[in-house]
Amino acid sequence: MPISLTDTEAVLSGDIDITDVDALHPWLTEHRGGTVDLTDCKSAHTAVVQLLIAAKANIKNNSETNDWRSILSNSNSYLLQ
């Protein structure tokens, strides 16, 4: 499963699809101040990125995900041009 949710942290790993917003949004609403770990996230749909930005999520990541463009999924790569 690409999203693992606990009381203190949401871990996003692999490729995060738009359908994962359905699980992530309620968690972000209920756990304000919780951490979202993007360390193992390879790509994410733009809706997921927008949700994280709008929620002002506390992001845990590695140096490769400091730039949001690096996790945008390939199907949305036209946004990078």
Residues with Cβ within 8 Å of 70's Cβ and at least 6 positions away in sequence, in order, are 64
In this prediction, residue 39 carries a pLDDT of 87
20-34: per-residue pLDDT in tens?
999 999 999 999 888
Domain count, the chain: 1
43-71: per-residue pLDDT in tens?
888 899 899 989 988 888 865 545 666 66
Q: Read off the pTM.
A: 0.78
Residue 13 scores a pLDDT above 60 = yes
Axis crossing angle, helix 46-54 with helix 21-30, rounded to the nearest 10: 10
Assigned domain for 46 exists:
yes
Query: What average pLDDT does this structure show over 9-30?
Result: 94
Q: Which residue segment(s) compose the domain that 16 sits in?
A: 3-66
